[in-house]
Amino acid sequence: MPAGDTVLAQSKEAKEEKPDEIGPTEDLMREHGVLNRVLLVYDHLVVQIEQKRDLKPEWVSSAASIIRNFVEDYHERQEEQFLFPRFEKARALADLTSVLKAQSDRESCQGSR
């Protein structure tokens, strides 16, 4: 099982065990923490490439798998479901929300690549 799938499976298991202990906002903040960690992995991979060090392809594919599965298939849907309606109702960040929705719609039409 690729690392990205393992992280998703663990995340889903944790949510199934304690579904009511954290709210959607806290959940999204924790997810942003995961995303920041993946970006650190990418930064490390860039350094490895620049220094012409050995680079295992599975490191890149695992990080990419996390991004695709976690960000595109899960995290963005959570934002669309829980945050965008709140912004729209409060008439806050309307420009940003509409841009993010349009991007998501385009990705959906393209079959998430």
Question: One digit per residue, pLDDT tens: the chain, 113 residues?
Answer: 555 555 556 555 655 555 567 887 888 788 888 889 889 988 999 999 999 998 888 988 888 888 888 877 787 887 788 888 888 888 888 888 888 888 877 776 766 44
What is the structure's pLDDT at 5?
A: 59
The confidence score (pLDDT) of residue 51 equals 95
Beta-carbon contacts of 49 under 8 Å, excluding residues fewer than 6 positions away, are 55
What's the rounded Cα separation, in Å, for the pair 53 and 34? Answer: 26
pTM of the model: 0.50
pLDDT of 3 reads: 53
pLDDT value of residue 113: 47
Residues 6 or more apart from 68 whose CB is under 8 A from it? 4, 112
Domains of the chain, by residue range, sit at 3-109
